[in-house]
Amino acid sequence: MKRKSLQKKDDPGKWYASPIVENRLNTGTVCRVVTRNTTTAPTELESGFNLVCDAIPLQLQLGNSVQLGKLGILRLSFGSSGVDNIDAFNAATMIRNVKVIFTPSKELMSAIKDGLSFENAGVVDNGFVYATTRAFKEAQGGGGSGDSGGGSGSGGGIIDPDPLG
């Protein structure tokens, strides 16, 4: 995917890799997958998960970080406006951009990276998806020589929902 630098508006941009998200699994599906070979019922896990989710906001509001087992840690973060004189600081109006930061555990990141592989799954240019680098080059009039892209594997089947624009 080609991206331009916001600081260098005249720069044509550079090509970057971008992950492809195939599907979004809802909570019920995740619970069924996780409990498949266990004695725990998916509804039990989902109920436990919902209880944890119900308790997290108060803990973060109290200033606690929340560790979720081997998954990782949640904590609050925010920005604020600055003032020259401390007497002018008003937390109620000057704190902004409150967000929750998730930091995955080392175990989770290790497990993800151990099974991770990458492939060229196509090219996205100006909102149009080309299935391979060769297809992109041919469309640009540059011929198809060179890298043929990833014609196989899970990411090779990208289809533009509206190929006619």
**pTM exceeds 0.75:** no
The pLDDT value recorded for residue 130 is: 83
Alpha-carbon gap, residue 1 to 98, rounded angstroms: 30
Q: Is the dihedral of CA 39, 43, 48, 52 positive or negative?
A: positive
Tokens 């970080």, located at residue: 65
Tokens 């993800």, located at residue: 112
The pLDDT value recorded for residue 4 is: 79
Q: Which amino acid is at 79?
A: G
**Residue 124 tokens, joined:** 């996205």
Give the burial class of 117: count Cβ atoms within 10 A of its Cβ; 0-12 exposed, 13-18 middle, 19 or more buried. Answer: exposed
State the Cα torsion 126-132-135-139 to the nearest 10°: 10
Q: Is the dihedral of CA 44, 49, 51, 54 positive or negative?
A: negative
The pLDDT value recorded for residue 143 is: 60
Mean pLDDT per block of 10 residues along the chain (165 residues) reads 78 82 92 96 96 97 96 96 92 93 96 87 80 84 52 42 45
The pLDDT value recorded for residue 165 is: 42
The pLDDT value recorded for residue 2 is: 78
Spatial contact of 42 and 24, defined as CB atoms under 8 Å apart: no
Secondary structure in 3-state letters for 39-108: CCCHHHHHHHHHHHHHHHHHHHHCCCCEECCCCEEEEEEEEECCCCCHHHCCHHHHEEEEEEEEEECHHH
State the Cα torsion 150-151-157-159 to the nearest 10°: 90
